[in-house]
Structure 1
């Protein structure tokens, strides 16, 4: 695969930020607790589905203290339409317990501490830090991974390596680029039938020959 040039990378970055100014997550949340729970639930699950699940969950368990005392079976019942709900329910309760016991009930704002929580890997931690704190970080979900490869920004086989390539390529404004790439991948550069006719990055696409007209 032909890699994007430095000039192309700069133009891709500029257009992404211009098309999605002040882009934010589509997950619904009111505070750091709700954001962290929603992001944990969103792993391999759509934001739309998560937003259908969380109102009842947050009504019953509005904070870390209540979730730490929750019955895992009850949490499973509330999130059962989410993928991997068994594991996610266990992780959510375990996460809340750890926050209560090891962090005095306050969700850590440091990445190294955040990734110690059950259900929180590097990607989840980065999404939370990008969204809530506007940190200069990159997170690679399925949309960002796909867009990165189609635009020749990375040819890495893993999300972690792809993230490294993107950080190296873009360097600054990573939080804005991440949010933009998610929306671009979700609505235009889709996995199936990408909307090439609506694309504002067509000339940088390294994969367009593989697409049939949608």
Structure 2
């Protein structure tokens, strides 16, 4: 972990590469994003993208979801991990919010909803263009941020987020988590990372030790 790096400057090439890129969940509006984020917990974005079109044909908005029930919803999400629990969460969210226009975009109000933790809230806020109150810490960020040397290693997403918030300036919170996530998905793979094309290899602990020796 590099304690004295000016990470704001070191990470600029990464932000320039990925800033503003849409999340891999293929949503068309805030309602779809919220539903897909809840469904994607412990599942893949690709799987959620696959089942989403048929789901949203039946449930095009929060109002239609609010008047449904578990038995009606489950057939549309049965290929999603933990679908029973997620069906209950989505129905409770819909019955709480009631309309698309009432979907919250602040940390406090999002994490108050069933099935939405800080990671999910950060994703929704980033995509909605809301001021960042934290940093996205998904599985890719949990793996890649310590590898680069920005933070010390932990598997706890909340601890990763907290560490990142301590060492990175608030001005980049809204974009840096997703940028690190894209880096992990595309370049900084668990095995055979493509260090030669990485925008932050010069600042990376892994590159310095494992590649340069």
Same-fold call, TM cutoff 0.5: yes
Query: C-alpha separation between the residues in 2 aligned to 1:104 and 1:133?
Result: 16
Which among 138, 141, 151 is matched to residue 141 of structure 1?
A: 138
Count of aligned positions? 207
Deviates more, 1:88-97 or 1:155-164: 155-164
Which among 102, 107, 115 is matched to residue 106 of structure 1?
A: 102
Query: Are residues 22 and 29 of structure 1, via their aligned partners in 2, closer, same or farther at CA, if it must alter by over 3 Å?
Result: same
Deviates more, 1:139-148 or 1:23-32: 23-32
Q: Return the offset for 1:202.
A: 2.1
* Cα deviation digits, residues 120-173 of structure 1 (max 9, x gap): 112111110111124223120001111111011111522112112212222112
Residue 184 of structure 2: aligned partner: 185
Deviates more, 1:81-90 or 1:53-62: 81-90
Residue 121 of structure 1: aligned partner: 117
- Is contact 2:119–2:138 with CA below 8 Å preserved after alignment? yes
Which residues of structure 2 form unaligned runs of 5+? none
SS in 2 for 1:119: coil
Residue 3 of structure 1: aligned partner: 2
Query: Are residues 188 and 104 of structure 1, via their aligned partners in 2, closer, same or farther at CA, if it must alter by over 3 Å?
Result: closer
Query: Are residues 188 and 107 of structure 1, via their aligned partners in 2, closer, same or farther at CA, if it must alter by over 3 Å?
Result: same
SS in 1 for 2:143: helix
Residue 64 of structure 2: aligned partner: 66
Which runs of structure 2 are paired with 1:78-93 in the superposition (5 Å)? 78-93=76-91
- Is contact 1:4–1:151 with CA below 8 Å preserved after alignment? no
SS in 2 for 1:82: coil
Query: C-alpha separation between the residues in 2 aligned to 1:31 and 1:104?
Result: 9
Q: How high is the TM-score relative to the length of structure 2?
A: 0.87
Q: Return the offset for 1:200.
A: 2.4
SS in 2 for 1:173: helix
Coordinate RMSD, CA, aligned: 2.1
SS in 2 for 1:162: helix
Q: Return the offset for 1:184.
A: 0.6
Deviates more, 1:199-208 or 1:77-86: 199-208
Residue 74 of structure 2: aligned partner: 76
Which residues of structure 1 form unaligned runs of 5+? none
Residue 169 of structure 1: aligned partner: 167
